[in-house]
Amino acid sequence: MFEGFVDERVSVGDVDLRVRRAGTGPPVLLIHGHPRTGSTWHRVAPRLVDHGFAVVCPDMRGYGQSGKAALRADHSQQSKRAVAGDLVRLMRTLGHPAFAVVGHDRGCYVALRMALDHPEAVTRLVVMDGVPISEALARCDAKFAHDWYHWFFFAQPDRPERAILADPDAWYTADPDLMGAENHREFRQATHDPATVRAMLEDYRAGLGVDRDHEEADRRAGRTVRCPTLLLWSTRDDLEDLYGDPLAIWRPWAEHLSGAPIESGHHIAEENPEALATALIKFL
């Protein structure tokens, strides 16, 4: 994976981040979701480099081989605000004070938070397979609670860690042929590590508390994403089943919004990297 990329650790303050990067030209930050690492982009990142972008693929704090922050009672050490702050500092350290950001799954919440908290840094925003956390919770019904029960199970203390670590391969099923063998090995290493599992769960615990509070404060204050924003969603995931038109949910959050589905399951970067890279290159 990532032939020709620099693979290094970069200090951003509280934690060190594992980072892969390559290319010259307009900078693009790619943010993975749960339970993946930066390696989920291994089929997309080289395509962007080949088209003249400087591409940065970190493991978010807590995930993969990046550092784990000390736990806090309110879980704010894993808040999207904390993670977004890490990544803005990372990009500045790498010489990119302004950049485009692409976030998938839990990473799309980080990307949104980054665009709201650091509008001077984010030139273009791509959010994939998600709606703002506060919007999802405001629409929570029996279907959401049934299909997305993990949001609420992961928020419980201790028991999710015990359940997952009893058999990580049963909990986090994945196809190495679909993912790519090296990406799958990195994914398994992460999901078998107790510290990483705890940090990934803290991501969800923060989501139901401080992250929701931050988003609701944004709405009360009338803050929106000012840069061009692209929403992409996978046809074989459940975003449309849950919400109808996901663009309608995002319009109050982003002043310049466009979007489209991509034929894929949830992990678009692994399952349909060509279509994803084409959409990103056109937008970026």
Domains by residue range for the chain, with CATH:
6-283 (3.40.50.1820)
pLDDT value, residue 237: 93
Q: Over the stretch 98-153, which tens digit does the pLDDT of each residue have?
A: 999 999 999 999 999 999 999 999 999 999 999 999 999 999 999 999 999 999 99
Q: Distance between CA atoms of 260 and 254, rounded to whole angstroms?
A: 15
Q: Distance between CA atoms of 210 and 215, rounded to whole angstroms?
A: 9
118 in active site: no
Q: Over the stretch 212-254, which tens digit does the pLDDT of each residue have?
A: 999 999 999 999 999 999 999 999 999 999 999 999 999 999 9
pLDDT value, residue 226: 97
pLDDT value, residue 95: 98
Q: Distance between CA atoms of 185 and 122, rounded to whole angstroms?
A: 32
259's tokens: 């979007």
10 Å CB burial of residue 167 (0-12, 13-18, 19+) is exposed
Nearest-CA neighbor of 83 among 105, 57, 109?
Answer: 109
What is the three-class DSSP state of 262? strand
Q: Provide the pLDDT confidence category of residue 159 given band limits of 50, 70 and 90.
A: very high
**% residues pLDDT > 90 (the chain):** 100
Q: Over the stretch 195-209, which tens digit does the pLDDT of each residue have?
A: 999 999 999 999 999
Q: Distance between CA atoms of 20 and 92, rounded to whole angstroms?
A: 15
pLDDT (average), residues 57-72? 98
pLDDT value, residue 181: 97
pLDDT (average), residues 248-268? 97
pLDDT (average), residues 71-86? 98
- The answer to whether residues 80 and 110 touch, using CB atoms and an 8 Å cutoff, is yes
pLDDT value, residue 15: 97
Choose, from 51, 184, 192, 266, the residue flagged as catalytic.
266
Choose, from 59, 105, 203, 218, the residue flagged as catalytic.
105
266 in active site: yes
**% residues pLDDT > 70 (the chain):** 100
Q: Distance between CA atoms of 273 and 281, rounded to whole angstroms?
A: 12
